[in-house]
Structure 1
Amino acid sequence: MTQTQDSTRSRTFSWSDPAVNAAELGRRSGLETLRATFSGELPPPPVSRLLDMSRMTVDEGLVTVEMVPQEFHYNPLGSIHGGILSTLLDTAAGCAVHSTLPAGVAYTSLDLNVKFLRPATVDSGTLVCVGTVLQRGRRTALAEARITDADSRLIAHATSTCLIFPVTPAP
């Protein structure tokens, strides 16, 4: 992010072709795909670059995503926009589900029920969002995610239901 003398701010970012990761759905398990993405072997999804999500870790059924709040995340009230927090929650919950899926199987969010408990700002420090699978069946999975600030205060939490479905491998 850059700031000019007249207080105008700008931000430039780049991303890789999202089809690269989508092609891996038929070749690798969700856990293998996520680990390859988080290690840098595969490019991060464009939304991660857009929101400037930083460190991510993954184990089967458990994903942690970090984000340092920045001004470009703000709403008109001077705090992190609820949609940004919701995206962080959806990412962690969805990736936790993804980490349990075999090759050739994908998911999509059916719903996301979010509760905001306190505002987050640039003064909140690094936000840590942990997503956990609560239950997984053949067609749906239930996951939860929780965002805490640098002082371990709960900022928001969510539950998510995900639809599980087969995918056709890319040629």
Structure 2
Amino acid sequence: MTETQRSRTFTWTDPAAHVGELGRLSGLDMLRSLAKGDLPRPPVMELLDAEGVDAEHGRVTFALEPREFHYNPLGTVHGGVISTMLDTAAACAVHSMLPAGVSYTTLDLNVKFLRPVTVESGRLTCTGEVIQRGRRTALAQARMVDTAGRLVAHATSSCMILEVPGAAAPAA
């Protein structure tokens, strides 16, 4: 390995080990359990080294400290990393409104990148909020700001709301 090469190792827990438990929790309860450490972080959060979950009904916040391993060949955080964080925040905001036995999937994600992000940008905060929830779809937005409070990226997302086969029936 040369002086400029870096190495990184991470571990994760198989998410399939907790699927049954997740089906019995409302979306908000699941997110709060993740935040407290009662449930293991999803593998993608370990991969990106994303931090914390602050969840309330219809609103979720995550954080990411930009690192070199997030960089593209131009020396800025790859747009895919930023998009993943925005998608996570928007979709989890939708999830925070769902009862046990109901899940979601992202239908679309529209991202606007407003400024480059580097390690000098400092901690990024990504907040997702539900704009509108219907019976089968929900619209959410997410905003990512740097340490100085400058908006670095924004996204809107549509999610399809799904019944989870074999999960507890939603409360009436």
The TM-score, its normalising length taken from structure 1, stands at: 0.94
Q: 1:41 aligns with which of 38, 58, 62?
A: 38
Compare 43-52 and 23-32 and name the one that shifted more: 23-32
1:92-126 Cα offsets, whole Å, 9 max, x none, are 00100000000000000000000000000000000
Are the counterparts in 2 of residues 114 and 156 from structure 1 also a CA contact under 8 Å?
yes
Are the counterparts in 2 of residues 140 and 162 from structure 1 also a CA contact under 8 Å?
yes
Instruction: Give, in whole Å, the separation in 2 of the partners of 1:55 and 1:33.
Output: 13
Please give the root-mean-square deviation of Cα atoms over the aligned residues, in Å: 1.4
- Whether 1:152 and 2:149 are equivalent positions in the alignment is yes
Shift of 1:20: 3.3
Q: 1:168 aligns with which of 153, 165, 168?
A: 165
Q: 2:62 aligns with which of 50, 61, 65?
A: 65
Q: Percent identity?
A: 61
What's the counterpart of residue 92 of structure 1?
89
Q: Find the residue that maps to 1:58 and give its secondary structure.
A: strand
- Whether 1:78 and 2:94 are equivalent positions in the alignment is no
Q: Find the residue that maps to 1:113 and give its secondary structure.
A: strand
Are the counterparts in 2 of residues 73 and 84 from structure 1 also a CA contact under 8 Å?
yes
What's the counterpart of residue 53 of structure 1?
50
Superposition pairs of residues 76-155 of structure 1, within 5 angstroms: 76-155=73-152
Superposition pairs of residues 19-34 of structure 1, within 5 angstroms: 19-34=16-31
Are the counterparts in 2 of residues 144 and 159 from structure 1 also a CA contact under 8 Å?
yes
Aligned length: 168
Q: Gaps (5+ residues) in structure 2?
A: none
Are the counterparts in 1 of residues 34 and 53 from structure 2 also a CA contact under 8 Å?
no
1:44-84 Cα offsets, whole Å, 9 max, x none, are 10000000001221001000000000000000111000000
Q: Gaps (5+ residues) in structure 1?
A: none
The TM-score, its normalising length taken from structure 2, stands at: 0.94
Q: Find the residue that maps to 2:66 and give its secondary structure.
A: coil
